[in-house]
């Protein structure tokens, strides 16, 4: 199968927030069953190498190095390769690890000078996806389920290694997404409001009787 035929089917997966999904898509695109030019194969190889780097202390430095160099392997006439690199770089901004964001933004700025039309096309595609009704449901697939507990402590049950590197606001957003997408959120809010009003009414009645 030619790369031109299979790439449109996997292009959105390269943009995924999931490392497993991105890596699987890259492995398929770079497999021997897919016919690609030598230049495209090289870009795919470099992108796979970058995605395979573990995000530990040593790995982050290596991932940053790959991010800064990846654009150099894309030829001016390689629209497919440039689209792949643009999508993979944008996906790195979805990785909740602060040390990746600045070098990724710089790499995106560099590649925009050569492939600005492709970059803005992909970014606009992402903005359109955010407006779609099912985007939040798809993005919340990694979120834990919410149970009918009075305490919200069960929402904060996510354990992360190297927490000091990560953006705490992203963790808060994830918890809020769980609340918004939970089927029982409305019921819990109604019970909470009614309970508060009932307590006020009882208190007022007690004052009157006193």
pLDDT of residue 167: 62
pLDDT of residue 49: 96
67 in Cβ contact with 89 (< 8 Å): yes
pLDDT of residue 138: 55
Helix spans in the chain (H): 3-14, 19-29, 38-52, 57-69, 79-92, 98-131, 135-139, 168-181, 185-209
pLDDT of residue 77: 82
pLDDT, averaged in runs of 10, over the chain (210 residues)? 92 94 96 92 95 89 94 89 95 91 94 92 85 56 45 50 56 66 59 64 58
Residue 93 has phi, psi (to 5 degrees) of -75, -15
pLDDT of residue 106: 94
Domain ranges of the chain: 3-131, 140-209
pLDDT of residue 57: 81
Strand partners, 35: 2
């Amino acid at each position: 199968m030619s790369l031109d035929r299979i790439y449109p089917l996997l292009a959105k997966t390269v943009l995924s927030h999931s490392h497993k999904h991105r890596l699987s898509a890259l492995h398929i695109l770079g497999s021997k069953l897919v016919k690609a030019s030598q230049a495209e194969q090289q870009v795919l190889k470099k992108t796979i190498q970058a995605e395979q780097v573990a995000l530990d202390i040593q790995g982050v430095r290596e991932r940053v190095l790959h991010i800064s160099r990846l654009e150099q392997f894309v030829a001016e006439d390689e629209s497919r390769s440039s689209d792949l690199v643009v999508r993979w770089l944008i996906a790195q901004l979805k990785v909740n690890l602060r040390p990746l964001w600045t070098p990724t933004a710089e790499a995106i700025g560099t590649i925009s000078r050569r492939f600005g039309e492709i970059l803005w096309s992909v970014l606009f595609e992402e903005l359109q996806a955010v407006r779609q009704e099912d985007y939040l449901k798809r993005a919340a697939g990694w979120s834990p389920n919410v149970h009918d507990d009075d305490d919200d402590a069960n929402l904060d049950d996510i354990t992360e290694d190297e927490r000091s590197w990560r953006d705490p606001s992203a963790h808060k957003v994830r918890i809020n997404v769980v609340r918004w997408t939970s089927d029982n959120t409305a019921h819990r809010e109604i019970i909470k409001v009614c309970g508060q009003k009932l307590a006020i009414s009882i208190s007022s009645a007690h004052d009157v009787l006193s």
